[in-house]
């Protein structure tokens, strides 16, 4: 499948939007902030998807799930020490999957299937078992997190 540029910094790959590679001339701060913005833009673009967007029967993400995913990314951008996500993907069942691939073989993934719940998966190395947990929160009308609570689940 070919890549379709949707902005100077975001490329749509049919099932995934990911930041386009940026110039090495940018400062680290500018590049990091840009990557966060690119992921936010990629998730926002998922509101345009319609059922059967992959021509194989995929369900379009619910607009509330898209808003919840945006709220989560904005929360992580401001409140956590995570680097910007590697990619944001619309799954065929209507979920939104956001992946981080920091250095050292660490892999972090969050799946948003509802606007106020996120299922997380962390692998600290390719050989380590995955850790799974669920985060629930209340998102107010301004899409701000309120009363976040984490629940560790053994899957």
The pLDDT tens digits for 1-10 are 344 444 444 4
Q: What is the DSSP string of 5-39?
A: ESSSSEEE-SSEEEEPPPPTTS-HHHHHHHHHHHH
Of 48, 43, 53, nearest to 19 by C-alpha is 43
The pLDDT tens digits for 65-93 are 999 999 999 988 888 788 999 999 999 99
- Alpha-carbon distance of 141 to 92, in angstroms, equals 28
Mean pLDDT of the chain: 78
User: Between residues 138 and 81, which one has the greater pLDDT?
Assistant: 81
* Predicted confidence band of residue 139 (pLDDT cuts 50, 70, 90): low
- Inform me whether the pLDDT recorded for 125 exceeds 50: yes
* Predicted confidence band of residue 136 (pLDDT cuts 50, 70, 90): confident
Residue 75 DSSP SS3: helix
- Alpha-carbon distance of 70 to 7, in angstroms, equals 18
- Alpha-carbon distance of 139 to 137, in angstroms, equals 6
Q: Is 132 exposed, middle or buried (0-12, 13-18, 19+ CB in 10 A)?
A: middle
Q: Rounded mean pLDDT of 48-53? A: 95
pLDDT at residue number 7 = 46
How many domains is the chain built from? Answer: 1
Q: Which domain holds residue 72?
A: 4-152
Best-predicted range by mean pLDDT (73-77, 117-121, 137-141): 117-121
Of 14, 85, 19, 74, nearest to 49 by C-alpha is 14
- Alpha-carbon distance of 58 to 13, in angstroms, equals 15
């Amino acid at each position: 499948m070919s890549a379709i540029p949707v902005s100077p910094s975001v490329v749509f790959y049919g099932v995934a939007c990911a930041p386009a590679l940026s110039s090495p001339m940018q400062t680290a701060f500018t590049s990091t902030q840009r990557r966060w913005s690119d992921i936010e833009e990629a998730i926002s673009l998922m509101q345009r998807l319609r059922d059967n967007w992959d021509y194989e029967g995929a369900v379009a993400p619910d607009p509330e799930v898209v808003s919840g995913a945006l709220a989560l990314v904005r929360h992580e951008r401001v409140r956590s020490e995570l680097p910007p996500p590697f990619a944001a993907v619309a799954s065929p069942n209507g979920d939104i999957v956001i992946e981080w691939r920091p250095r050292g073989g660490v892999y972090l993934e969050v799946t948003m299937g509802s606007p106020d719940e996120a299922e997380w998966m962390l692998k600290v190395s390719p050989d380590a078992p995955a850790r799974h947990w669920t985060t629930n929160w209340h998102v107010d009308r301004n899409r701000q997190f309120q009363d976040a609570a984490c629940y560790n689940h053994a899957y």
